[in-house]
Amino acid sequence: MDEVKHPKKPFIYYYGIVLVILLLFNFLAMPWLAQRQVQKVDYGTFLDMAEKQELGRVEVQQSENQILFTNKDNTVIYKTGMMPDPDLTQTLKDSGAEFEGEIIEQANPILSFLLTWVLPMVIFVVIGQYMYKRMMKNAGGPNTMMFGKSNAKVYVKSSEGIKFSDVAGEDEAKENLSEIVDYLHNPSKYREIGASMPKGILLVGPPGTGKTMLAKAVAGESNVPFFSMSGSEFVEMFVGLGASKVRDLFKQAKEKAPCIVFIDEIDAIGQKRDGRLGGNDEREQTLNQLLTEMDGFEENIGVVILAATNRPESLDPALTRPGRFDRRVPVELPDLKGREEILKVHAKKVRMDNNVDFSRVARMASGASGAELANIINEAALHAVRDGRHLVTQSDLEESIEVVIAGYQKKNAILTDAEKKIVAYHEIGHALVAAKQTNSAPVQKITIVPRTSGALGYTMQVDEGNHYLMSQEELENKIATLTGGRAAEELVFHSASTGASNDIEQATKLARAMITRYGMSKDFDMVALETVQNQYLGGDTTPACSTETQTEIDKQVIALIRRQHEKAAKILEENRDKLDELAKYLYEKETITGEEFMSILNA
């Protein structure tokens, strides 16, 4: 889409610079110039010149205690200090000079006037004009010179505008938004029956799921102007500027109606006004203005406001009440089918091998957002180029998923023989525990090639289909699988290594969530002991219980993990010969597939 940008720096900024230059010129350069025209001489020289009748005009400045005088032709001005000389008047009379108490003009009066007044003004105007013209050229319009103008980017329709077909998956969101498109095409249809469109629609979801894309697609489909601004662009250093930007944005939008206004990252201005000390006045004023504007325009004038955020819980309730952002469209992480479609959309942009299995790639990339999937395709294309090939193949895609999960292969990391053996047992430990439990995702690949993320190896498990719910048993199995690596090390080497730190972290997180949030502990029944914040941004939790209960939770987490650790150890002990065989095989091959693993296991 074409984009018209507006300038950032106010005009006054440039005038300020010019003013400072002028002041410096007047205070420093002018006195220096004036000084240069007066020559300082001693009293003897003055007397000599008087005697030789070489004086032109003389001015005796009693108050300054100095005598200013010129030569016969009045071309040079001299200055000397006064001496107690009672015969001074007589001397001057004898010299034939013109003398008086008046001030002698130190320089040509016209020149002096030009230098001190006219020249600065001319410079001021010329530089001002230059700046003005330059800014006009960038701005594209005279109205942008003022403070508090919104610098919303206006997307005008162009041939490459984003359409709904470019946004893969997200069918519910698209269905929801297509009603808006229909409304923008034909507002009267809705007006006649008395239905009113929501004024504001909030797109919420994790980063990279296509919220911005969807907003652009609405504009592209409905063929109307699209104003786009990020929430943070409203927040200025001076209180009140953000509010005036909001006013201006809505004024422009009303003039251009029907149109779409898109505010990205609205949480930057829409956060709850909690009235805490040191609150942000500017942000609150901006929010107030936004609330007022949204109330101010009538329904059905054809302005639809879309906003995106990944922190919906932090928004001010006044913003989300009916009549403002009253419709909320969730834009969630894509499911298996969605991931496959997104991969296909982006695969169109690169040259793909015909027999790429997108469904398999989509299954491997479980939990990836649209942006990550786009990145996987691009990484795969880069990988193909690096290998000097013209087509992107299945293996490029699989390698690039690993890059996204675990980083690049660390080619020059050299493990000692003993370390490599430990890592092989560790990974087979995970895989074996997973394979021997029912309800665990099948193993896809096991590798002990070190990665730049610091992982010395990993076991990739891939679910067959979509997974929306997890049972208590599945969660417990997952914890057991995570402890399997360490359990194998203990069984074989009778010692522990640092390699399990990531497993420990994940297992603890899962176990804690089971007890505090999923109600999977008998003692606490269905009581929420932790609350989740920022659901879409990592999902940090804060405890919501007494410290005594926290102590009890800790005890239960430990007990739960210990049970699973023991279970894993038992599984490995029972399959010790397979463990040795598989670990040896992995040690030699470094990377094995799920099929190889299963065939050895079942042999």
Catalytic residues: 427
| CA end-to-end span of the chain | 59
DSSP state of 321: S
Q: Is 467 strand, coil or helix?
A: coil
Task: Tell me the window of 134-142, 165-173, 230-238, 388-396 that interacts with ligand ADP (CB under 6 A).
Answer: 165-173
Contact call for residue 345 and ligand ADP (CB under 6 A): yes
The nearest distance, CB 207 to ligand ADP, in angstroms, is: 4
Contact call for residue 370 and ligand ADP (CB under 6 A): yes
Total binding residues toward ligand ADP, as defined by CB under 6 A: 17
The nearest distance, CB 306 to ligand ADP, in angstroms, is: 11
Contact call for residue 374 and ligand ADP (CB under 6 A): yes
Binding mask 378-417 for ligand ADP (x = CB under 6 A): ----------------------------------------
DSSP-assigned letters across all residues of 34-67: HHHTEEE--HHHHHHHHHTT-EEEEEEETTTTEE
- Cβ proximity to ligand ADP: between 345 and 572 the closer is 345
Number of residues that make up the chain:
603
Binding residue for ligand ADP, selected from 88, 97, 154, 167, defined by CB under 6 A: 167
Binding residue for ligand ADP, selected from 290, 291, 308, 361, defined by CB under 6 A: 308
Distance from C-alpha of 164 to C-alpha of 176, rounded to nearest angstrom: 12
DSSP state of 500: G
Report the amino acid identity of residue 556. Answer: Q
The nearest distance, CB 263 to ligand ADP, in angstroms, is: 12
The nearest distance, CB 219 to ligand ADP, in angstroms, is: 13
Alpha helices in 257-304 (DSSP H): 267-270, 281-296
Contact 314, 269 (CB under 8 A): no
The nearest distance, CB 369 to ligand ADP, in angstroms, is: 7
Binding residue for ligand ADP, selected from 21, 131, 239, 371, defined by CB under 6 A: 371
- Cβ proximity to ligand ADP: between 187 and 207 the closer is 207
Binding mask 195-214 for ligand ADP (x = CB under 6 A): ------------xxxxxxx-
Q: Give CA separation, 338 vs 171, 348, 375, in Å.
A: 9, 16, 16
Q: Which of residues 217-256 bind ligand ADP (CB under 6 A)?
A: none
- CA torsion angle 115 117 119 124 (round to 10): 150
- Cβ proximity to ligand ADP: between 308 and 448 the closer is 308
Quick one: tokens of 124? 């001021």
- Cβ proximity to ligand ADP: between 56 and 200 the closer is 200
The nearest distance, CB 534 to ligand ADP, in angstroms, is: 15
Which letter, b or e, does each residue of 138-177 get, where b requires 16 or more Cβ atoms within 10 Å of its Cβ?
ebeeeebeeebbbbbbbbeeeeebbebebbbbbeebbebb
Contact call for residue 365 and ligand ADP (CB under 6 A): no
Task: Tell me the window of 75-83, 164-172, 349-357, 419-427 that interacts with ligand ADP (CB under 6 A).
Answer: 164-172
Q: Using CB positions, name the residue nearest to ligand ADP.
A: 370
- Cβ proximity to ligand ADP: between 49 and 229 the closer is 229
Task: Tell me the window of 355-363, 369-377, 467-475, 509-517 that interacts with ligand ADP (CB under 6 A).
Answer: 369-377
- Residues 6 or more apart whose Cβ sits within 8 Å of residue 418: none
Q: Which of residues 323-342 bind ligand ADP (CB under 6 A)?
A: 342
Contact call for residue 312 and ligand ADP (CB under 6 A): no
Distance from C-alpha of 254 to C-alpha of 263, rounded to nearest angstrom: 16
Distance from C-alpha of 583 to C-alpha of 600, rounded to nearest angstrom: 11
- Cβ proximity to ligand ADP: between 339 and 445 the closer is 339
Q: Where are the beta strands (DSSP E) in 162-225?
A: 200-204
Distance from C-alpha of 424 to C-alpha of 417, rounded to nearest angstrom: 11
Q: Which residues bind ligand ADP (CB under 6 A)?
A: 167-170, 207-213, 308, 342, 345, 370-371, 374
